[in-house]
Chain A
């Protein structure tokens, strides 16, 4: 099973600042990684797929990068609605796995 480790567990920032979230895979997964955003009481929302492609309707302030084992989600300038929990997910091999989540909170 491929283990995804996200860091930091919690990131405290202010609106307008830049956020960088990391996801490390226990073995190489090429670019088969997605990022999701989840707000309390809601289903996850797909942000990025195949490491760097924005999903439909996702604002340009969200970007993804990386390949192999190290991946990054960047939010260039935080909006109030961006404070949420973020998950990475790999689809290279079964079982599909998610990272443990990273909370982005308002400072």
Chain B
């Protein structure tokens, strides 16, 4: 059974940093690209960042480019999102999502999300 579990969310001041983690199990982690998708309160879905199975290729939305970094540790079956220079508009539930196939960016398994609140 595939399991996806995010952690690391919380309250942070504007300009601060936070590192999200996603622990996965039930599939061969190295074979699948992964992404972070966020949802601001009462709003729609926004893709944030994606990374290849090997971790050598990553992509970021323009809204987070230069501030957020996606990474993975395939030895630990974990995905990360390092978030720096946080802004109020980064407040959202952050979901970790698995690709349907190795490099096909549709998402078939999602975690329940972790809430990040940026406020003073």
Contact = CB atoms under 8 A, between A and B. Distances in A.
A98 B45 contact: yes
Contacts of B47: 89, 95-98
Interface residues of A, number: 22
B46 A43 contact: no
B106 A34 contact: yes
Interface residues of B, number: 22
Interface class of chain A by DSSP:
loop
A43 B59 CA distance: 22
Contacts of A87: 44-45
Contacts of B62: 1, 95
Contact of A95 (B45, B59, B104, B107): B59
B44 to A, nearest CB: 4
